Structure 1
Amino acid sequence: MPKQPYPEEFKIEAVKHITERGHRVADVSAWIGGSRHSLYKWIEE
């Protein structure tokens, strides 16, 4: 079964933790259970 994509609002909140609140990508990745690669991609978007 393919993995469901994260909702857009979830991605925005995750990126805000990094860009606005100063959290590290590695920490946010661990909190949400997603890959660092995905987070970097979301930041670019």
Structure 2
Amino acid sequence: MTRQRYPETFKIEAVKQIAERGRPVADVARVLS
């Protein structure tokens, strides 16, 4: 099974939304996928 590689900018945006905006991880993952 191959793991999907995410670009650095994607990771930064995801962390920003979770940490700064208090959004749930599952919600951010669903929106950004």
Question: When the two structures are superposed, what TM-score results if normalisation uses the length of structure 1?
Answer: 0.57
Inter-partner Cα distance in structure 1 for 2:22 and 2:7: 22
Q: Amino acid of the residue matched to residue 15 of structure 1? A: V
Structure 2 partner of 1:9: 9
RMSD: 1.6
Question: When the two structures are superposed, what TM-score results if normalisation uses the length of structure 2?
Answer: 0.69
5+ residue gaps, structure 1 = 34-45
Inter-partner Cα distance in structure 1 for 2:26 and 2:5: 20
Q: Using the aligned pairs only, state the percent identity.
A: 59
Runs of 4+ in 1 over 6 A off after TM superposition: none
Structure 2 partner of 1:18: 18
Per-residue displacement from partner, 1:2-43 (whole Å, max 9, x unpaired)? Answer: 56511101101111100011111110011122xxxxxxxxxx
